[in-house]
Homo-oligomer: A and B are copies of this chain.
Amino acid sequence: MLTIWLKMKIGKKDKTTEEKILAAAKKIFVQQGMAGARMQDIADEAGINKALLHYYFKNKEQLFEVIFMEAAGRLFPRINEIFLSDQPLFEKIERFCSEYITIVLENPYLPLFVLNEINRDPDYFLGKVWKGKNVPQPEKFLAQIEKEVAKGTIRRISPLNLLMNLISMTIFPFVAKPMFQKNLGLDEWQFRATMEQRKKEIPKFIIDAIKK
């Protein structure tokens, strides 16, 4: 018995019930949002009974919170990294674009999902995300930009605007993915390819804009 269990675990042949639930919940919640998601649909997607769902997770809210935090936990710390790290400005920008796009390409619908739920109750959700330490500290990054401006290495630009530009260009195409795809006629593969390009194009664009 032990051997079989180990074999499964190692080979990852089968998901445990809890894993099945989490995968199903993620799919349904991300697609439908908290309000639109139905516990029955999650149960169906996981191939189990609705009662079993409540056996593993007390209620919809608790299940949702697990999914939301997992999603938010992938997106927010990365943004904070660019605030905190010690690299030179241009390197930071390059690293952020490249790493962020890589992550989100694996789950293109996470940003819209997270932003949407945050919009419903900003204080509650952002409170959860940044609970305890780990609060965002943009000061360092903004100061770094000002310093470069003062040094004369880059053009005069409002640090806040530069930060917004960086984040906007990186994330928005995912938020508007269906719109861009439909209106610009991009299939799945072309969209991916475009975003791969942008890992380099965005930093180039920004640096061209601010470098003296």
Contact = CB atoms under 8 A, between A and B. Distances in A.
Given A161-B205, A201-B158, A122 B180 contact: no
A69 interface: no
B36 A197 contact: no
B184 A31 contact: no
Contact of A172 (B33, B155, B175, B183): B175
Interface in A1-47: 31-36
B161 A198 contact: yes
A36 B120 contact: yes
A138 interface: yes
A66 interface: no
Contacts of A109: 119
A11 to B, nearest CB: 36
A167 interface: yes
Contacts of A138: 183-184
Contacts of A102: none
A157 B169 CA distance: 15
A36 to B, nearest CB: 3
Interface residues of A, number: 52
A179 B202 CA distance: 22
A116 interface: yes
Interface string A58-82: 0000000000000000000000000
B115 A176 contact: yes
Interface in A138-187: 138, 155, 157-158, 160-161, 163-165, 167-169, 171-173, 175-184
Interface of A: 31-36, 109, 112, 115-116, 118-120, 122-123, 126, 136, 138, 155, 157-158, 160-161, 163-165, 167-169, 171-173, 175-184, 194, 197-198, 201-202, 205-206, 208-210
Given A109-B119, A168-B171, 18 more contacts: A32-B120, A33-B33, A35-B35, A36-B36, A126-B179, A138-B183, A157-B201, A157-B205, A158-B197, A161-B197, A161-B198, A161-B205, A164-B194, A164-B198, A165-B205, A167-B172, A168-B172, A205-B209
